[in-house]
Amino acid sequence: MMISVATVGISYNIPVLRIIAGTARGRKLLSLPKDSGVKPISGRIKQSLFDILRPKVPSSRFLDLYAGTGAVGMEALSRGAEKVVFVELDKRCVEVIEKNLERSGWAVRGKVFRANALSALTWVPFRSGVQKFDLVFMGPPYRDREERPLFYCKQTLQNVASAGILEESGWIVAQHHFREEAPAPEGFVKFRETRYGDSWLNFFKRA
């Protein structure tokens, strides 16, 4: 299904993204056109992700890195997350996330920052007001516009670990291409991994 939406001052025909479950179940989210280079998480992977995270999401503080159009963080808000912080470098995506938060009435519980998750993340607690997160999700892009592979997961995992922003009982979840290695950063262990086509979901917690 496609809809026509005015986003960032331009009218696009874009695929419909929907909230899967929670208080906003079925709600349509703004996205970007397929040729924008932004690839949202698939419905299948998002469903599986939140089936696993279900006990931890309510009342959680959730960090969505490489947030894209915010589909993962929005799902967390619908399922009862107390606070979601979105980090995204693409200006178009930042504007879409802001619009989705406003349209959904979640502007108080969600904050979006334009920043590069490949850089140090020590700024997050000071700017977001959230000192520690219960859940950190990262879904970096797999390839650039020239289809060259991007291997961002290892560095981003290290950034999260070194920033000290995860609760003792918190989890980090990394979605990455099956050809990319995502080793546990120092002080962490990988406790679960699941493959979906060309993607892995890897789950990490403190050792």
C-alpha distances in angstroms, 120 versus 115, 123, 160, 181? 10, 8, 8, 20
pLDDT attached to residue 150? 82
Domain that holds residue 182: 39-206
96 in any annotated domain: yes
Q: Please list the pLDDT of the chain residue by residue as tens digits (207 residues).
A: 433 344 444 344 455 689 999 999 999 999 888 777 788 888 899 999 999 999 999 999 999 999 999 999 999 999 999 999 999 999 999 999 999 999 999 999 999 999 999 999 999 999 999 999 999 999 998 777 777 778 899 999 999 999 999 999 999 999 998 889 899 999 999 999 999 988 999 999 999
Quote the CA–CA distance of 80 and 22 in Å, as a whole number. 7
pLDDT attached to residue 148? 78
Domain with residue 195: its CATH number is 3.40.50.150
Place of tokens 């979840």: 173
Quote the CA–CA distance of 6 and 122 in Å, as a whole number. 35
pLDDT attached to residue 17? 82
12 in any annotated domain: no
pLDDT attached to residue 172? 98
CB atoms within 10 A of CB 14: 20
pLDDT attached to residue 14? 53
pLDDT attached to residue 52? 97
Number of domains making up the chain: 1
178 in any annotated domain: yes
60 in any annotated domain: yes
pLDDT attached to residue 194? 93
Quote the CA–CA distance of 156 and 187 in Å, as a whole number. 15
183 in any annotated domain: yes
21 in any annotated domain: no
32 in any annotated domain: no
Reading phi first (left if > 0) and then psi (alpha if -120 to 50, else beta), residue 35 is in alpha
Quote the CA–CA distance of 112 and 46 in Å, as a whole number. 20
9 in any annotated domain: no
Quote the CA–CA distance of 25 and 58 in Å, as a whole number. 15
- Chain length of the chain: 207
